[in-house]
Structure 1
Amino acid sequence: MTRRPGKKRPKGGVLAVISLLMIGSAAIRVGLEAGPALAKSAEPTVPLAMKAQAELPGAQVLLTELRRREEALKRREAAALDREKALEIADKAIETRLVALVEAEEALRATLALAEKAAETDLTRLTDVYQSMKPKDAAALFETMDPTFAAGFLSRMPPDAAAGVLAGLSPEGAYTISVIMAGRNASAPQE
């Protein structure tokens, strides 16, 4: 092909048209295919439980059962917390009562010790009274006493005072009191 001199050709005529057609085709394709893709990405996210519910027919039953179990667990947890609080209150009450019981026991021991001391003082004083009496008068009193009671007083007296009282008793009374005094410690352990 030869070129003609004098005629100027328009620059880029055919190439410009072809490129415009290609760009238009690309725009149409992007518009047609990108629309659904953009619509899919813009869909709201559906929770997994709802998707499962829509996809599986037994999903509703499963979801209901899971919710029921969750509620049961919450009730159990609340009950356990209530029991724990009740046990804490009971523990505090027990500790308080135990302290009160220990204090009462100590007070009782002190009272018993005081009573024992008072009883011992009374017995000592009464023994001293019987011991300071004339043996004949003391023997008359001891004759009327219960033999066990009389043996208790005679065992607390010094031997010479007890001998004087025993000598003034009737032989049966003296024998009974002597047997009681001798057998008083017979059942005590030897070693």
Structure 2
Amino acid sequence: MAAICALLVASALVRVGGIGASQAFAKDSPAAHDPAPAAHGPDQGTQLAAMEAPVITDADILPLMEALKAREARIEKREEDMDVRMQALSLAEQEIDRKLKALEAAETSLRQTMTMASDAAEQDITQLTDVYARMKPKQAAQLFEQMDPNFASGFLARMKPDSAAAIMAGMEPEKAYLISVILAGRNAEVPKD
């Protein structure tokens, strides 16, 4: 921006200096003293038009320089604002990265905890199923009749068919039938495709 300003000022000075010099040469030339300028040819009219061109003074250049300086100040201010915004964006990006890493670590930890809890629950259910399967069928049947049919069907589905059959044989027919219906319909809603 400063280079452009300098070029404009230099151009203005050359013009001002050029016009002043051409006027000085015109005053010293014999044509300047000639009372009949039209008699010297068509180039004389062009020279007169060039001599009559307005002279650019420092007062004319000053508003242009001030406008250029004001524009340069606005551009510098915008650049500073952009730098501040870029710094803010960089800080926000770092914070997002930090939070994302913390979230990923928490997700991994939660997944591990859920896997442990699921494994522990599976072990407990397997153990309890083994306990029911080892009980005398008549005693187990009494317990299963007290359970919710959905809950009871879950245990019976995990047992060996012989153990489950012995327990269901000792149950009241209505309860055994309800559990059978639940067991038969467990996979009915699974997609076939």
| TM-score by shorter chain over 0.5 | yes
The structure 2 residue matched to 1:182, chosen from 181, 184, 187, is: 184
* Alignment: residue pair count: 143
The structure 1 residue matched to 2:9, chosen from 48, 63, 77, is: 48
Q: Equivalent residue for 1:36?
A: none
RMSD after superposition:
2.1
Greater RCO between the two (CA within 8 Å, min separation 6)?
A: 2
5+ residue gaps, structure 2, are 1-7, 14-55
The one-letter amino acid of 1:54's match is D
Greater CA radius of gyration, 1 or 2? 1
* Identity among equivalent pairs (%): 49
5 Å-filtered alignment, 1:72-151, equals 72-151=74-153
Task: Report how far residue 55 of structure 1 moved.
Answer: 5.1
Task: Report how far residue 65 of structure 1 moved.
Answer: 2.9
The 1:143–1:53 alpha-carbon spacing in structure 2 relative to 1, beyond 3 Å, is farther
Structure 2 SS opposite 1:188: coil
Counterpart-to-counterpart distance in 1, 2:71 and 2:9: 19
Report the TM-score when normalising by structure 1.
0.68
The one-letter amino acid of 1:93's match is E
Counterpart-to-counterpart distance in 2, 1:53 and 1:147: 105
Task: Report how far residue 178 of structure 1 moved.
Answer: 0.9
Q: Equivalent residue for 1:9?
A: none
Task: Report how far residue 60 of structure 1 moved.
Answer: 4.3
Counterpart-to-counterpart distance in 1, 2:118 and 2:57: 85
The 1:104–1:53 alpha-carbon spacing in structure 2 relative to 1, beyond 3 Å, is farther
How big is each residue's C-alpha offset from its partner over 1:67-90, in whole Å with a ceiling of 9 and x where there is no partner?
Answer: 222221111101111111111112
Structure 2 SS opposite 1:189: coil
The one-letter amino acid of 2:185's match is G
The 1:53–1:126 alpha-carbon spacing in structure 2 relative to 1, beyond 3 Å, is farther
Task: Report how far residue 190 of structure 1 moved.
Answer: 2.4
Q: Equivalent residue for 1:10?
A: none
Q: Once structures 1 and 2 are overlaid, which stretch shifts more, 142-151 or 96-105?
A: 96-105
